[in-house]
Structure 1
Amino acid sequence: MIQQIPEPLYPPEPFATTRGSTLSPESDHLKSKTSEQFLCSICLEVFSEPVSTPCGHNFCKRCISQHWDTSRSCSCPLCNEVFTIRPKLKKNTLLSEMVSKSKREAELRSKKVSKPGDVQCSVCSEPKLKAVKSCLVCLSSFCESHLQPHLTVSGLKRHQLMEPVDDLEDRMCPTHQRPLELFCNTDQSCVCTRCVLLEHKNHEYVSLEEACERRRSSLQKTLLQNQNMVEQRRLKVQKIRAAQDQSQREADRETQQMVKVFSDIMESVQRCLDHHLEVIKQTQTKHKERAQALIQQLQQEMCELEKSSTEAQQLSLSTDPLHFLQHCPALPPAGLKDWSNVSFEPQTCEGSAARALSELETRLSRVFKQLTSTLDLRRVQQFAVDVTLDTDTAHPYLFLSENLKQVHCGDVKKKLPDSTQRFDRCANVVGKQSFSSGRFYFEVQVKGKTKWDLRVAQESVNRKGTITASPKNGIWTMWLRNRDTYKASADPSVLLSLKRPPQKVGVFVDYGAGLVSFYDVDSADLIYSFTDCSFKGKILPLFSPCRNDKGKNSSLNPVTFVSLV
């Protein structure tokens, strides 16, 4: 028989505290729920490797070993029996199995204890175990042990069991206090069997399972629709944000342009004001200098007259007739200017402000025209595309650069495979990029050329034989001949009057508006626009550097397509 004591005979050694501090929650739970027969009297913990002494008492192997290691004599801590020879400790198999069984039961019970979120057994006292079933008749939930009567008692076997839930009251008909077992399609509500016979008579109803499947299927479709709607709105948000960002960029660009434009205008006004103020200042300076010169001359003659008058007056007092006659001066003195025709009127600035305003108006008109052209060119340049040439369409006399950005006409015809896409009579080549909507812009450098053709054409344009450049044929062209003759191939052709030969030509196309415009990039002037163009399908750039013309249209100056992107 195992002797039981309320407290250990010796204070716990340090090892006992260390061991106790590392106990698992299951061991601690076992300690609290197990009788004292499973506790070591040294460490007061559940036995770990229980061993028996010759006197029949049980201890943890580690506890009794360390106790004997620190004691002067080898004795039993409980009965104080002294052993002359340190006993060889043997494992208490029965006690070890009982402790293990108790631990397993404690662990199993701890697993069944309900956790937050679990449905608790309505019968268990604390701690409540986790429920495994709920009864719609009893309106209670039961753990595995408390559920046994429902599985064995004949009267309880007829009760309707279900997976454990908390809201059992909500599953009962509030009118008839019966389980809600059916679904009324007519009223879209859950009903009991009494409701079907009374309030919902002649209604269409199905089982809860069938109604659930129908609703679940409908819900899946609704969820899919919701996901599609969410995706549509997400894309819409992206488009709105992209449009907002683009709007902000355009607003910033317009703000910068506006600040520059008005700064240029204010500088022009200031220059005009400074010029006219300087003119008034110079005019007044000249007027003042003339006045001072006249005054100085008059004052000099006044001095000479006063001197002559003084001399004559003194001589008139002489009593010597001979002296008087010999020295009598001629009055007035010779060399005096006749001032009767000399006039000096006040210098007036009347009308200067009006003339200044008129000149400012003329100057601002030129500035406004230039700024308008510049802003228009900058506006279309934002639609710049990178144009490269299509080697499969180039006429055999044309030579393209490696980067497909330059083209010139040679003197030797290359042997190339003939195809439906290649030009065979006209020295043309088209760009690889084609467009069927939107707006695009590109620039071509034609410096040093005496003739060239710049075109926008339908992709279906004829590649064989002679080609007539006309909007009727789906070709919109600006060309140069004889170094200074520029024309637009409208119906009929239009002779273009340019202030100076353009070194770089910009081409802008608005597909939706039916517009093709040519610009002098350096001056930002609009050269010519084709309006109301009838585009069909894809359109693309089409170019011709024209023949060398015996070196006048030299290949040293190829047509070059400028990259703006």
Structure 2
Amino acid sequence: MASVEIIDEPCCICMNKLTDLMLLNCGHQFCPKCITKVLDTLKTNEEYYCCPKCRKRSQSGPELQKFRRFSDSAKAYESRRQGTSQPGISCTQCLHSSVLAVKSCLLCEAHLCEDHLRIHSTSPEHVLLKPTIDLKSRKCSVHKRILEYYCNEDEACICVSCRDGGHEGHQVEKLEEVFMKLVREKVKTERKLRNLYEQSMTEEDNKGELIDKVDTFFTDIRHQLEDLEKRVRGEVSRQADRFSAFHLIQEQENKKDELLLKIGQIEKLCIIADQTDCTLNESTEDAPDLQEETCERDKFLIAMILHAGVSDMVKMKNDLFPLLQPTGITLDINTAADDVQISDDLKTAKSTNVNQSRPRRRGRFQTCRVLSTNTFSLGRHYWVVETSTSGNWAVGMCYPTIKKERGWVGEDEKFWGLKKLYGSYHIQHNRHSKHLSDMVPCNIFGVCLDYEAGHLSFYALCDPVCLLHTFTTTFTEPLHAVLQVGEEGSHSQIKVL
């Protein structure tokens, strides 16, 4: 096996630059202290160790190989990668003087000045390159030939003899091509990473703003609730003081005392005590129930105070967190299959065994499905459906060019949606299905579309309301709502609310 060129990179454990190196059998390199400590903790038994980077297991412990590194190894690699010579590399053939080398020979592992280069062999096996210190890492340890290729299967740098020998049938590429490919991949990864960092910072800012907004909302709500509670309590207390039974009793007692006084005065003039008692009793029975009327009036006033206060809170909520109003979806009977019954208000689709015998036309589905008359090519929209608890069904959005043949609507790259199949819920697009294993039974769902942003979200509008899935794509055609109510005899139904 050919040797692998050692690249200056940080230790993947401590992330410090490698000044001294320990190499595992799998080819990954670490600081001596880091790898010794980690391997002790990763030991699973007395026979096996694992590489902390690739998890490759080695029997009887890894044979750690220690490589001496030159103090200027970083400069050596960088200059070699850029194709520039390193200053200060002396000719190894000039024994009595220090003369700068102009070339290095990989086969001889020697540095040559101008004079010794003239008499050096020009045969092909003597590969000359600009002066570099790290010569051994550029040669195959088995064939002593320059490493020119990369074996993708074995993830190793190899020479031409390795390629024609132990790597026959493997996917082998020139090192220059692999290098350029890795550089492009690195640039692409760095760009993605930078975008993710920027997105993360933006999301953090948005999160902070949203949290502040929510805090402000609930703080204001608490203050308004406290004020509303004070107003309601004050009104209840005021009315209780005004119309309390104690005051009414006191008022009637005073009135009774006045009447008794007058009766006593008149009684002296004529004896009519018995008639007076009867008349008094009759008058009491016919007196209207003032307390009952008062109570009804009090409840109405309190209800009005509460209604006004709650309305103010709802308005504040709508100002801070406006709710997208549902879009009025109607079903296009010209696209409905013959086994789908459409209600008169064009809001409900129901599977039926009675053939509807609709006129044949190009845009009509062959089975189970119907499109909306609405089309969506811009803006944000929201609609709600109520499904039957039994039977199979699917709801979602699609392009008008979706296939009209038999089969499930989800088996098409032009559909994004939610389906219920034999009691299980699934997110579906282009034959790719995601099972919602933790989905609780629900029969009311919301669909939210942001066309320009390329977002299509599905919500379960049960308690609690939860987001089921969000598709992210670039829409290239207008979208229609689409409903599927299962096969004949399934008794499934979907109603647009």
Which TM-score band applies after superposition, normalised by the shorter structure? Answer: 0.3 to 0.5
Give 1 or 2: higher strand fraction: 2
Highest Rg: 1 or 2?
Answer: 1
Structure with the bigger RCO (C-alpha within 8 Å, sep 6+) is 2
When the two structures are superposed, what TM-score results if normalisation uses the length of structure 1? 0.31
